[in-house]
Amino acid sequence: MQVPQNLKYTKEHEWVRLEGDIAVVGITDFAQGELGDIVYVDINSVGNSLSANEVFGTVEAVKTVSDLFMPLSGEVLEVNAALNNNPEKVNADAYGEGWLVKIKISNKAEYDQLLDSAAYASITGN
Amino acid sequence: MTTLKRVALHETHVSLGAKIIPFAGFEMPVRYSSDIEEHNTVRNGVGVFDVSHMGEFMISGSKALELVQKVSSNDAFKLTDGKIQYACLPNDQGGIVDDMLVYRFSETEYMLVVNASNIDKDWAWISQQNAQIGAEMQNISDNLSLFAVQGVKAVEALQGLTDTDLSKITYYSFEKGSFAGVPDVIISATGYTGAGGFELYVPNEHAQTLWNKLFEHGKKWDIKPIGLGARDTLRLEMGYCLYGNDINDRTSPLEAGLGWITKFTKNFVNSENLKAQKERGLSQKLVGFEMIDRGIPRQHYEIKNASGEKIGEVTSGTQSPTLKKGIGMGYVKSEYAGENTEIFIDIRNTLIKAQVIKLPFLKPTV
């Protein structure tokens, strides 16, 4: 299971990469492995300003449905359109081509509260 | 907290990298690689499910047929030696205790194969029905392993392992024979996938030998282990009911579309009431539907009409790996049960268009 050191994480198994005030968000390798084959990424929140921990969309595997939670407060700017026809990219490349959304963050202080890779790896039992 | 049971080959599944989940009181392999890959292996090749959690009861003696006839919705009088029937165990409240397979070994010996989650309930129910009859009953669930070898290539992949001519065992028939050097294996032309193949019942002490031989010999056909995840998508593409989802203690076999195994040619538990229900007409029916607009139906989602009124509920749903769209089953009011009726699935408070279709979703290859 991969947990890149340059990313931050949430207990809800999302990862965050901060580029200025834009956060790129996805689900972790651990999460995609637990879910199994992702068959649908349903995100209709572009343009919405949401608080941290609010639901911004849903990811569906063959057997399971999981809500996606905002790791940080901000405005959802963009959804990864490639997932519309190829949701399996989340399985194949969770930290790369399988990214989910970009968020314009509204409170940088929240970022500092996220888990680092070691803390995240420990909650997944690794 | 109850302890989960393990199948005889638990360690084998762990070493194959299976993800193990609690299911029906057992630790079961849900997936070895990917649900979709495993699904496609069965549709296009051959795979093996360890479904040893299933329950098996032997009913024997001169009263055996009388007991089977009392508890089964199907007419076991029509069975001959070596034949199998799908049937329900109706309860006396209009619902279903379980669904099962009935095997006839002889006029005085039958085997009932039941769902793992219902073994204790079924045993108690059948014992209660047997009180006035007195057939001999034996629960052999803990002694038997069961491997479902399923797929379009199953017959050719298995034939080299037995002298029994597999092509002669017709669907819903079985033979007892030597298989991979193991004596007295029940070779049953059944399954839960619509892809063809056999289910092999073997005593636990020979389970490892049989499993190993299946994989050694099956290598040429690229045989793979398949988990319960794919088992569910495979059965749903065929429109087969799953107990606990599509049928339960409160669902009528008639409303579930199981009229074809509910035979009023004989008396059985609650047959009078079911017959009356049939004559009255059904208020709701289990239907298959496919999504017209994008979305994946899931158990307990509400089914609505164009005006947004609730007309039923989804009992099973998934993204079909073969059709690559959302498919499901659910109960709807009878006036919405006709083929091609437009219905809507309430997915996260949005009504997504779907259409009632005639089951199965896919043509079976058996």
B222-278, pLDDT tens digit by residue? 999 999 999 999 999 999 999 999 999 999 999 999 999 999 999 999 999 999 999
Instruction: Read off the pLDDT band of B193 (50, 70, 90).
Output: very high
Using CA atoms, how far apart are residues B45 and B196, in angstroms rounded to an integer?
A: 10
Q: Can you give the pLDDT at residue A125?
A: 81
Amino acid at B60: S
Name every residue whose Cβ is closer than 8 Å to that of residue A52 and which is 6 or more positions away in sequence.
Answer: A70, A71, A72, A73, A107, A110
Q: For B5-49+142-237, give the CATH class.
A: alpha beta
- Asked if B347 and B300 count as a contact pair (C-beta separation under 8 A), the reply is no
Q: What would the mean pLDDT of B308-336 be, rounded to a whole number?
A: 98
pLDDT of residue B300: 98
Q: Which residues of B touch A58 (CB under 8 A)?
A: 348
Nearest by CB to B36, which of A37, A40, A58? A37
Task: Identify the architecture of domain B55-139 in CATH.
Answer: 2-Layer Sandwich (3.30)
pLDDT of residue A126 exceeding 90: no
Structural domains in chain A plus CATH codes: 8-107 (2.40.50.100)
CB contact under 8 A, B318 and A63: yes
Q: Do A61 and B296 touch (CB under 8 A)?
A: no
pLDDT tens track for B80-116: 999 999 999 999 999 999 999 999 999 999 999 999 9
**A64-86 confidence digits (pLDDT tens):** 999 999 999 999 999 999 999 99
Residue B365 banded pLDDT, cuts 50, 70, 90:
confident
* Closest chain B C-alpha to A62 CA, distance in angstroms: 6
Q: What is the pLDDT of residue B50?
A: 98
- Which residues of chain B make contact with A42, given a CB cutoff of 8 A? 295, 348
The domain defined by B283-357 folds into Elongation Factor Tu (Ef-tu); domain 3 (2.40.30)
Show me where the domains of chain B are located. 5-49+142-237, 55-139, 283-357
Give the ipTM. 0.92
Residue A94 confidence (pLDDT) above 70: yes
Q: Is the pLDDT of residue B2 over 80?
A: no
d(CA B250, CA B235): 22
Rounded alpha-carbon distances, angstroms, from residue B142 to B48, B104, B209 = 20, 21, 18
Q: What is the mean pLDDT of residues B176-191?
A: 97
Kindly state whether A67 is in contact with chain B, defined as any CB-CB distance less than 8 angstroms.
no
Question: What 3-state DSSP class applies to A110?
Answer: helix
